[in-house]
Structure 1
């Protein structure tokens, strides 16, 4: 297994969330589980081999579902949608486990496969920007109905009508917003990214923002946000992100639900830390 493209990321001009994960009561005096890992790549190869084996097992399990549909005579009358709630940052950006609060391609890009006999040709692909909020409208559309109220996503069914991955029968979005509310309890990191076919702009609330040229830097190694030659690009992306936020009623920290979470989550964190400490047979650290 070859070295992953950004395993040797120096993390220069990256947020603290790239350097450590919070709320992991396992480790140092500041209750921070430090990442990236110091493991050398030969040890990571063993980890990656097991991760790939796990993925193969999941694929095989999905195949059992398809086989059962065939056996029951339902395959030609069943739409199957395969996706995930988030990606996996394993071995990326210096060597890390799980996901995180950052909006890297490894975390935000997920599989999406649709099996729709008689309507989608085997192997058909699309290069359009779609997201998880599109799934529910798509299911209703294929069932011949719609939501009775406005929703953030849109049906991707029109993309099925062409075999050209760059064309569709109807106009499609040319950018997409994704967001995170942090990883774990208690300490929030609110991040939003605006993605186009070329750039990714990440608004990290009150922290350092990010801008990446995904065409030249697909592994997001070089944050361009402070370079003068990209000022206009960053400004345009920021404005487009603002439109997404307004259109989706994204209030950020002004949202009453967020304000309530600031009250509720510290108590949940304290309980979580205590349970983990008891299980590990150690004294629970002070959570503040």
Structure 2
């Protein structure tokens, strides 16, 4: 694919987007024999909320997502409860908080006993499929922490998914390998986003006569930032990109370079999603399909001088989310402003599918509000980090925290007490910490009360990290991740 062709594609896609925004799309004929909706989840890894055209970003090229947004519910405050890969996945599939399902640290196993999305839908007669990154098999105590990443996931560890083209974890997105249902090893030829999308299209073409739930889990735009196909890298000139004001001046050139590579991954994914959407229309099942696009967590991208995730700032905890379901929501976009947390996603999808949530689910079902055309009525979403590790371990400033993200405010406590308070409406780049400012004491007390109630409801006693590692019989991945005895004295 030549760069010129890509540029023509984006120009054409942008024109189509404008046409879709200005007029209604003809109604698609539904498959009358199918009553139960299909469910397709498109999951990106480390794609932060601000980096899509439909959210007002004029320098990233995402014409297919922009078109999808023109037909979807646009969630403006989707909050990842714990901004790390494996914990998000476990919370999404179970509808539970990390301290319930026990995956609050990467490369730890989700228990076989967990009741998950695929098992619930399968019990209702659905076919189930999973393609791409899994990151829930984990490793046994005492094994190397990356020991399972290159191995097949045993059948009893697939949590109810039958169709299976999966790699536990890789951040090599070119000619990477995966395993099928029979543990046979194969290669995704080229940039893996594209053949993974082709597999998803093949799956729903073959299963369109019966209800199915399919999860398509991409690896990028997670770092490494510079491995997207060249034609997508050529779409961006790093020197022309604007960075967020909270990127330190000394790091702005580095941030532009990283952003250019990150944007290239995002545009490549957008291109693949365009192919999937076209195929869904041609299959004749788009109207009766609940299509979700979202991400596990964001990326700081040099905001506040750091990369990646785990931290309680918006760049890490806020992710994009679109839900399109023409049969119930019509074909016009609508914004949803109230916050929604990771454990709320599964019960809401079940509600939209007319499936009752099992008692094991802790999240809230907001399907009723969405179907009624209302906002969620949700005051705040809980955010947490029970155990700092990897890039934000104790030795480089990591700390345990609990907090909330409301529509307007962020409030966070660490083990010493109140830590962060931001008015995100007046201070969208979170540069002015209002915590313990007497002028905002009433607001702080109000937000603290909301946080305490959230912790009470979720049975979270907010203990030091070591307590959870002992409780779940986990080991830290490396000695330099250990929490030192004098941690509280030297921290902050």
| TM-score, structure 2 normalization | 0.44
Instruction: Indicate yes or no: 2:108 matched with 1:108.
Output: no
**Which runs of no fewer than 5 residues in structure 2 stay unpaired?**
1-240, 482-492
TM-fit CA distance, 1:196: 2.1
Mean Cα displacement is larger for which, 120-129 or 48-57? Answer: 120-129
TM-fit CA distance, 1:3: 3.0
1:179 to 366, 384, 403: 384
1:124 to 334, 339, 344: 334
Instruction: Indicate yes or no: 2:285 matched with 1:74.
Output: yes
Q: Provide the C-alpha distance between the structure 2 equivalents of 1:234 and 1:211, rounded to a whole number of angstroms.
A: 7
Q: Helix, strand or coil for the counterpart of 2:327?
A: coil
TM-fit CA distance, 1:208: 6.0
TM-fit CA distance, 1:210: 1.0
User: Highest relative contact order (Cα 8 Å, sep 6+), 1 or 2?
Assistant: 2
User: What RMSD in Å do the two structures reach over aligned CA positions?
Assistant: 2.8
Equivalent pairs counted in the alignment come to 235
Instruction: Indicate yes or no: 2:254 matched with 1:49.
Output: no
TM-fit CA distance, 1:209: 0.9
Match of 1:144 in 2: 354
Q: Helix, strand or coil for the counterpart of 2:296?
A: coil
Match of 2:62 in 1: none
1:6 to 237, 246, 252: 246
Q: Provide the C-alpha distance between the structure 2 equivalents of 1:255 and 1:212, rounded to a whole number of angstroms.
A: 25
| TM-score, structure 1 normalization | 0.72
TM-fit CA distance, 1:78: 1.4
Alignment of 1:199-218 (within 5 A): 199-206=409-416, 209-218=419-428
Superimposed CA distance per residue, residues 170-210 of structure 1 (whole angstroms, 9 cap, x where no aligned partner): x7222221112324297473211122223211012236611
Runs of 4+ in 1 over 6 A off after TM superposition: 254-257
Indicate conservation of the 8 Å contact 2:469/2:475, yes or no: no
Q: Provide the C-alpha distance between the structure 2 equivalents of 1:154 and 1:208, rounded to a whole number of angstroms.
A: 27
TM-fit CA distance, 1:162: 5.2
Going from structure 1 to structure 2, the CA distance change for 1:180 and 1:62 (only over 3 Å counts) comes to: farther
Q: Helix, strand or coil for the counterpart of 1:140?
A: helix
Q: Provide the C-alpha distance between the structure 2 equivalents of 1:253 and 1:259, rounded to a whole number of angstroms.
A: 11
Q: Helix, strand or coil for the counterpart of 2:255?
A: helix
**Which runs of no fewer than 5 residues in structure 1 stay unpaired?**
10-37, 273-288
Indicate conservation of the 8 Å contact 1:252/1:258, yes or no: no
TM-fit CA distance, 1:92: 0.9
